[in-house]
Amino acid sequence: MKIHLHVNGKAHALELDPDMPLLWALRDHVGLTGTKYGCGQALCGACVVHLDGEAVRSCVTPVSRADGRAVVTIEGLSPDGSHPLQKAWVELAVPQCGFCQAGQIMTAAALLKKNPQPSEVDIDTSMAGNLCRCGTYLRIRAAIERAVAEKGKGG
Amino acid sequence: MTARSGPPILLLRRTFLAGLGGALTGLALGSRVGVAGPALPPAVDEAVKAEAAAEGAGLRPNLFVHVTPNGGVTIACARAEMGQGVRSSLPVLIADELGADMRRVEVVQAPGDPAYGDQNTDGSHSVRGFYDALRKLGACARMMLIAAAAVRWRVPASTCEAHDHAVHHPATGRSLGFGELAIAAAKLPVPQDILLRPRVELLHVGKELPLLDGPDIVTGRAIFGADVRLPGMLTAVIARPPVVGGRATQHDASKTLAVPGVRHVVPLPAPQPPFAFQPLGGVAVVADDTWSALRGRARLEVTWAPGANGDYDSSEYCEVLLAAVSAPGHVVREVGDVVRALGSASKRVEATYHVPHLAHAAMEPPVAVVRFDGQKCEVWAATQNPQAARKEVARALDIAPDQVTVNVTLLGGAFGRKSKPDYVVEAALLAKATGSPVRVQWTREDDIQHDYYHTVSTQRLEAGLDEVGKVVAWRHRTAFPPIGSTFTDTTLSVPGELQQGVLDVPLAIANVRAENCEARAHTRIGWLRSVANIYHAFAVQSFIAEIAHARGSDPRETLLEIIGPPRLVGLEELGVQSLPNYDQPLAEHPIDTGRHRRVIERVTDMARWSDREQRNRALGLAVHRSFLTYVASVVSVIRDPEGRLVVDEVWTSLDAGTLVNRERVRSQFEGAVIFALGHALYGEITMKGGATVQSNFRDYRLMRIGEAPRAIHLDIVDSDGPSGGAGEPGVPPVAPALANAIFALTGQRVRELPIARSLKV
Ligand code: FES
Ligand code: FES
């Protein structure tokens, strides 16, 4: 089936199995490998992208559901890594192996869009679906808080 | 310092050290057991130097350092980056010794080649094993640049100095940039004696260094194993026998081959014991893309013969281990007469502890890409051990190792799993069978079900107390299927495993005996971050708190009393003939109880141990030396309104000797706390009918952010002593400190992990 994807502002027309998870369409057919496979079962959050602004787990999102809709991946979150979350992530040296971090940042970005002043509980609740085997959780909390504070300063 | 993300096919991750205003000891995870120390790379490689000089490419005294005529400095990182921060740490040692401007230093990842020295990134020894050797690599280049400037200025070399990417002659105020000197320096003889700078001249080492790959990671540009793309590449997923040593007796691929995109179905050879690094066999589905391969595999019909391990049941096996520690084992440590002392003790304390199998579950499951043209083979893999991958691939393809190039990607986590190259060999066999480049992608289910598991273990401890409560006898029996069983037919663990919390524990006790009880493996056993220290420290440090309780004393005082006064504990006091000591001489890395005591004192001060009794909150303490680093942790546990036990805060004091990158040391110890808490609370792999029961994060539960402690407080002992490890030593004390806190809060003693089995957490 012909699928029309708008990924990071660019249009792609692809002939794909409608059941193919958006994750594999992005990685294998669009050529964007920033979105990661960690479990394939909506259990880890490594594959989170934005679909029309909502955080979704692309490993369980059939590509047909994304047909004609706007997809943003980690590569498109900001043109140059300048999103307040990306900046805070680098400043606080959050990543260890780094593999989960695209999903962490995309989940956090969707959270801040909806809730620019999240409480600690909001952060833990929203980030609960994102595993980090390296155990960077405390820095993830701190980086989200820093991004919120920076945004507040910038008005 | 910068990393440049090259096109994945040609160059993996060339990255600059830019932004290094200020410095990481990142260390390796996983561990080797009973192997020789790291082979160090030579500071001078005449062939490499001559080639660069002949090409006018500038100064390249060895494989690691290259100063180009335009002033660029390229430094090779020969160890694998798995989150421990080696790429942000090791090149800094070389660049600092050289006197380079970090903004002009580019880091390239070395391929797997013995010419780079040992590259097996495990055992927490990347800094420990290489500290001086890496400095020499940079110092050699520095001395040659200085010599070239001295010739040009006709002044003695001793009057020149190198810093800020240039050689300076302070007496006359002259300077020449490294680039201007590179060609002349390349023509000079290499220095006979390589002199290291005084420590104070290393401007970045030991500081908080920026994260080299940070910008690439947060923008999705970093290249992990699964991100490598080759023209014409196919993707394979493999149906592997559910039981180790099992095989496919027949398969029907007709439905698989009907899936659009599926190109080949390839049966793989069944391995012969010992399994070592061999792939597990099974049937591979090779397709145009990942989704087609997955769909194809789901439609494959395979009949499996379970083989010799088909009866393995891990819960029944607990009984086997219990029987093993209930009878005398091989005596591996002996002081005094334990049997008599236990017999005449006024009080005896006894306990048995059990820790289950665990899976590595690195966030990126194993993946490898291989291209093979019939003669030459090129590999891109997330591997901790590129040289082993090279050797195994060469063997599988029946070609010489020098025909195999192994490019190392970022690892996506490893924890010891990715030092076994079975998945790389799978990709090589499939590249050969299909004639196309092949990426083998493990799913999470594959990863959880076909791991080289952390072993399963039972410990029995017995202590005898005299009439005033002093411990006069200590017997420790340990039983676990050894890592060696993966490589030879053995049931006996080796000193490399026993040194991790049995042979090396300082005990100021007159009668001590440790016994090694045999245990047979029924699955592939591998090393997992901090290895045998996990179960030994859990048992020993829980048991000391049990002794404290039995005699009604403060666990901290009891711990300090059992460790005894500050001293260096030699082989005789330990009651052993020899000690591997993580491949380091005891003279250089003694067992120093002063350092044990110091981290205990510091961590209990920091956690306010004297205030430990609070309503609804309790503290637990443990200490452990592993990988030559001393670590003490305090864990606080509270009960939430629903009655669940929650870890609230963790304090860790550590003494790891000299650090390279303080920031990555901190991140390793923070991560170690989460890693260890997750295992202690929920971590468990069970087996039935020889097959792993768990299959994904649904049933192999890891710690999530809401379960993580509110705070982790780290305290690093300042030291210029020899470096210990940093990636692993943070793990062992956490589980016993947690169990001790739970006991203090609830009166319930956890002797079996995970805690979720018996308590509401
Ligand atoms: S890969 Fe999608 S949630 Fe894990
Ligand atoms: S940084 Fe490694 S899994 Fe999160």
Which residue segments constitute the domains of chain A, with CATH numbers given?
2-77 (3.10.20.30), 84-152 (1.10.150.120)
Instruction: Tell me if B438 sits within 8 A of B233, measured CB to CB.
Output: yes
CB-closest option in B83, B289, B664 to A98? B83
CA angle B87, B137, B590 (to 5 degrees): 80
Q: What local confidence, expressed as pLDDT, does residue B36 receive?
A: 36
Q: What is the pTM of this model?
A: 0.93
Determine the average pLDDT of the residues in B225-254: 97
Give whole-number Cα distances, B231 to A17, A153, B236, B580, in Å: 22, 48, 15, 48
Reference B140, options B72, B55, B53, B67; nearest CA is B67
Q: Tell me, letter by letter, the H, E, C secondary structure of B314-330.
A: HHHHHHHHHHHHCCCCE
Determine the average pLDDT of the residues in A137-144: 98
Alpha helix stretches (DSSP H) within B644-733? 662-682
- Indicate whether A70 pLDDT > 90: yes
CATH topology agreement for domains B2-219 and B225-305+366-441: yes
If pLDDT is split at 50, 70 and 90, which confidence band does B199 have?
A: confident
Percent of chain A with pLDDT over 90: 95
CATH of domain B225-305+366-441: 3.30.365.10
What is the Cα–Cα distance from B577 to B563, expressed in whole angstroms? 20
Residue A137 Cβ < 6 Å to ligand 2: no
If pLDDT is split at 50, 70 and 90, which confidence band does B129 have?
A: low
Pairing of the two strands B301-305 and B247-252: antiparallel
If pLDDT is split at 50, 70 and 90, which confidence band does B594 have?
A: very high
* Cβ-proximal residues to A128 (8 Å cutoff; 6+ apart), any chain: B704, B705, B706
CB atoms within 10 A of CB B593: 20
How do the domains of chain B map onto residue ranges?
Answer: 2-219, 225-305+366-441, 314-359+452-757
Arithmetic mean of pLDDT over chain B: 92
* Cβ-proximal residues to B388 (8 Å cutoff; 6+ apart), any chain: B120, B277, B419, B420, B421
CB-closest option in A89, A99, A137 to B705? A137
Sheet holding B234-239, edge to edge: B262-268, B282-287, B234-239, B438-441, B367-372, B377-381, B404-408
Q: Tell whether A102 lies on the interface with B, counting CB pairs under 8 A.
A: yes
Amino acid at B758: S
Q: Tell me the fold of B2-219.
A: Aldehyde Oxidoreductase; domain 4 (3.30.365)
Q: What local confidence, expressed as pLDDT, does residue B128 receive?
A: 65
What is the Cα–Cα distance from B73 to B67, expressed in whole angstroms? 5
Instruction: Tell me if B623 sits within 8 A of B594, measured CB to CB.
Output: no
What is the Cα–Cα distance from B484 to B500, expressed in whole angstroms? 15
Q: Of the bound ligands, which one is closest to the alpha carbon of residue B224?
A: 2
Mutate to test the interface with B, among A71, A134, A140 (most CBs of B within 10 A): A134
Determine the average pLDDT of the residues in A37-56: 98
Q: What local confidence, expressed as pLDDT, does residue A38 receive?
A: 98
What is the Cα–Cα distance from B617 to B637, expressed in whole angstroms? 6
Determine the average pLDDT of the residues in B416-427: 97
CATH of domain B314-359+452-757: 3.30.365.10
> Which tokens belong to B67?
């100063």
**Segment (H or E) for B647:** strand B645-655
Q: Which residues from B are below 8 Å from A122, CB to CB?
A: none
Residue A81 Cβ < 6 Å to ligand 2: no
If pLDDT is split at 50, 70 and 90, which confidence band does B29 have?
A: very low
Q: How far is the CA of B384 from the centre of ligand 1 (A)?
A: 24
If pLDDT is split at 50, 70 and 90, which confidence band does B523 have?
A: very high
Arithmetic mean of pLDDT over chain A: 96
What is the Cα–Cα distance from B451 to B449, expressed in whole angstroms? 6
If pLDDT is split at 50, 70 and 90, which confidence band does B28 have?
A: very low
CB atoms within 10 A of CB B681: 22
pLDDT in tens, B293-327: 999 999 999 999 999 999 999 999 999 999 999 99
Q: What is the DSSP letter of A41?
A: S
- Indicate whether B37 pLDDT > 80: no
pLDDT in tens, B88-120: 888 888 999 999 998 899 988 888 888 888 887
> Which tokens belong to B382?
């997330």
If pLDDT is split at 50, 70 and 90, which confidence band does B259 have?
A: very high
User: Which residue of A lies nearest to B695 if distances are taken between CA atoms?
Assistant: A39
Determine the average pLDDT of the residues in B386-413: 96
- In the Cβ-directed half-sphere of B390, how many Cα atoms lie within 13 Å? 20
- Indicate whether A91 pLDDT > 70: yes
pLDDT in tens, B318-337: 999 999 999 999 999 999 99
What is the Cα–Cα distance from B422 to B428, expressed in whole angstroms? 10
Reference B351, options B492, B512, B541; nearest CA is B541
Question: Quick one: which atom of ligand 2 is closest to the CA of B412?
Answer: 2
Sheet holding B347-355, edge to edge: B330-335, B511-517, B471-479, B457-465, B347-355
